[in-house]
Chains A and B, each alone.
Chain A
Amino acid sequence: MDSLMQLFYDEANEMVQGMEQVLLALESGKPDPETVNALFRYAHSFKGNSAAMGFTHLSKFTHGLESAMEVLRKEQRPLTPELATLLLQAVDMIRTLLERTRTEGDVGDPACDALLQQINAVINGETLNSPVAPTASTTSSTPTPTETTETTATGGTPRYRVTYQPAPTLSAEHDPLQLLTELQEYGQVIECRFREQIPPLEQLKTDACYGSWELVYETAFEPAIVRALLELAAEGAEVRVEPLNASPSSETALPTADETTAAAPIVSVATPSPTEVPATATTAVVTATVNTTASKGEAQSIRVSTEKIDALMNLVSEIVIAQSMLSSAQTADTDERVRAAITQMERHVRELHERVMAIRLLPVSYLFNRFPRMVRDTAAKLGKKVSLEIEGEETELDRTLLEALSDPLTHLIRNAIDHGIEPPEERRQNGKPETGTIKLSAYQSEGRIYIEVSDDGRGIDTERVRQKAIQLGWITENDHPSEETLYDFIFQPGFSTAQQVSDLSGRGVGMDVVKRNVESLGGSISVQSKRGEGTRFLLRVPLTLAIMDGLGLTVAEEHYIVPLTAVVEVLQYGSLKHTALFDQYEMVNVRGEFIPLVRLRQFVGLSEAESNQDELIVVLEQEDQRIALLIDGIAGQQQVVLKSLEENFVRVPGFAGATILGDGRVALILDVSDLIRRGRQSTERYAAVA
């Protein structure tokens, strides 16, 4: 696909998404004129773009939609739920038509006209039988002072036909295109036609102006100001600004797709299944881009293809490795100047890495955007009332993480609606508000990203979980595992019953798959719940996938890495009091606090060796849980590039990945959560006994 086409699709996707978001936002409050304006502008730009690409059906449909928005804009009509649903269907239709253009080109859909008619009918409060023109040209409304007679609901921003014949001489100060651009700051260019009488080059005078423009322009400012704007740069410009009476459809002398009113009776409007617009197209959007109309003060940005960014990222990762090799190749004999240079390089490479990583960071809103719609539709399908609250959408994370989290989050949210939130009557009976709340929030802490999906529904019934586990043969009737253990069961494969995997959850995605997905990103998932009150799922993912600061640990001859962010301190084992509960569950006393001890040797499957006084303890902490890790020695600190074990192998429990050391060897990176879990097994028994 050529890049112009790709650009069109990228922008189209953004616009469609934007329209949808605005519609959803509108539902929850009074129509805010600004957001309605935004909606109108989206439709308008999109109409123009698709016309430019030759997709006349798409353009025509959008034009119909735009006209409907026009009416809405003037605040004469409220946005009823019925209308909102129709408009969302229209957005879906646009998506469908868009998708079709990829394979079938410029094709329409028989449901288009019917849908437009319905929309206009609802807007005008009409019964559905009378065929209505796509532009609401019937039924009166109060005429405003500036517009006379007929048609369209009026009031709101006036429109003018502007004819602009620039002054005959061009100069550095006189650039007609520049002047026209400035018009956009004071209003909106609805349509524009450019007329030119430019001679062939041989006769061209470079400082003569051979062009003229005719526009339909909408502005709240006085015509005099418009004229002044355009006449500003040079003497001799001819500008005419005439108020426009006619309805939008009769933008005379400006060529548009012709309007044919379908007189077909209303048929059931097909609801095309929303084509999933992926949050990331092949071209990564760095920030919002070229929409010039409302973008005063928005940051300048460019689109960059993801291949370029990925290539850049890989290169930077390799530089970090190479630089690390260089650092470790230093010896006592290394020249002072070389040392100094290496130190400086370390700083720059670190900064380079941070900046490049920042490019890949996108706000979580890209991921969260699709959920309001999904929640709305899913809740409706299930007869539940659910409101979605979103917090922390500006929190940033790596692009690939965003994509990878999409499925797990979708499943968790669907699950919450399906099983968590009770039907309205049940909620009422329980003294809860009829509308359940699902809260989606994201925040950053300790070098990780946390995403919470919580609901105020019925909570997890631990007794049912226990019974299920008994049924599955995992425990016996006499076992009463802790709440935590019971929650862990939910994430085991085989736990999700066929009943739970409904059409909604689709594809048989169970909690175990969610857990696996999250863990394959180097993250973890946990759950808290209170019967009758609600459930909270907490996902933890690393901030950056690629590079982190690591501490090297040795046991026997083996070298392992642990993330520096988890390291609290390093102590001498011999200097600490230690004890072993029942001679099994070891603990260490660090400044009065007993911390579970984990022997790294044991953890990595090496045979025990004799204890010696030189052994060290590394105190690790994650989310307020600590363990003391017993090791032979420390092997220095370094930046490590985290490499996936799953890519060509499998996930190895206990390890978050691997890295390549300065000498080319592979070292495994310990998974602190797993270490802590190993330690917790000790404390759990301790607590149970105590």
Chain B
Amino acid sequence: MQVSLKTTAKKHKATLSGEIGFAETAALYETAQQILQNPKETQIDWSNLTAIHYAAVQVLFALRKSLENQGYKVQFTEPNPQLYQHLHTFGVWDALIQS
């Protein structure tokens, strides 16, 4: 599991790869907090993410909401097809990418 954050003057790019289980949710949460300390347009690149615990999904939702409250947009890249199916079947995908 890997969560990396790259920041430029204009935006953040968080890359999530591997699998994010419950244990790793905390790491994701920290990165999310980092982003919020310096709020910008954010891109979440999860094309190499194969599995994600629901708790971590919530963190992504929460991050999105916080950023939107401050007027910043969050963009999600195209997910891994399996992940997409997983999230899509249970309505999570639609809710997450709709602003």
A-side interface residues toward B, CB under 8 Å?
2-4, 7, 48, 52, 170-172, 175-178, 180-181, 184, 189, 192-194, 196, 198-204, 206-207, 209-211, 213, 215, 289-292, 302-303
Contacts and interface: CB of A to CB of B under 8 A. Distances in A.
Given A194-B91, A290-B85, A201 B63 contact: yes
Which range holds the interface residue count of chain B? 35 or more
A446 B92 CA distance: 53
A181 B54 contact: no
Contacts of A184: 89
B81 A171 contact: no
B95 A196 contact: yes
B78 A290 contact: no
Contact of B88 (A48, A178, A196): A48
Contacts of B29: 201, 204, 206
A201 B90 contact: no
Nearest to B35: A201
Given A3-B78, A290-B81, A201 B86 contact: no
Interface of B: 21-23, 25-26, 29, 32-33, 36, 53-55, 57-59, 61-63, 65-66, 69, 78, 81-82, 84-95
Given A204-B62, A215-B90, 5 more contacts: A176-B54, A180-B89, A180-B90, A181-B90, A201-B62
Given A170-B54, A206-B29, A206-B59, A175 B91 contact: no
Contact of A213 (B23, B26, B61, B91): B91
B65 A198 contact: yes
Given A196-B61, A202-B36, A213-B90, A290 B82 contact: yes
A199 B94 contact: no
Given A48-B88, A201-B32, A211-B58, A175 B22 contact: yes
Contacts of B62: 198-201, 203-204
Contacts of A215: 90
Chain B interface main SS type: helix
Nearest to B63: A201
Contact of B65 (A200, A206, A303): A200
A232 to B, nearest CB: 15
A175 to B, nearest CB: 5
19 contacts: A2-B78, A7-B84, A52-B93, A172-B22, A172-B23, A175-B54, A176-B54, A177-B87, A178-B53, A181-B86, A194-B95, A198-B58, A198-B62, A201-B66, A202-B36, A211-B54, A211-B92, A292-B82, A303-B81
Contacts of A189: 89-90
10 residue pairs, one from A and one from B, having the closest CB atoms: A194-B91, A172-B22, A200-B66, A204-B62, A201-B62, A201-B66, A198-B61, A177-B54, A4-B78, A170-B55
A455 B25 CA distance: 63
Contacts of A210: 58
B92 A206 contact: no
A204 B59 contact: yes
Query: Of A3, A175, A291, which is in contact with the most chain B CB atoms at under 10 Å from its CB?
Result: A175
Contact of A178 (B25, B54, B63): B54
Contacts of A172: 21-23, 53
Contact of A52 (B58, B90, B94): B94
Contact of A192 (B54, B65, B69, B89): B89
Contacts of B82: 290, 292
Contacts of A177: 53-54, 57, 86-87, 90, 92
Nearest to A291: B85
Contacts of A290: 81-82, 84-85
A215 to B, nearest CB: 8
Nearest to B70: A200
Contacts of A193: 91
A48 B33 CA distance: 35
Contacts of B57: 177
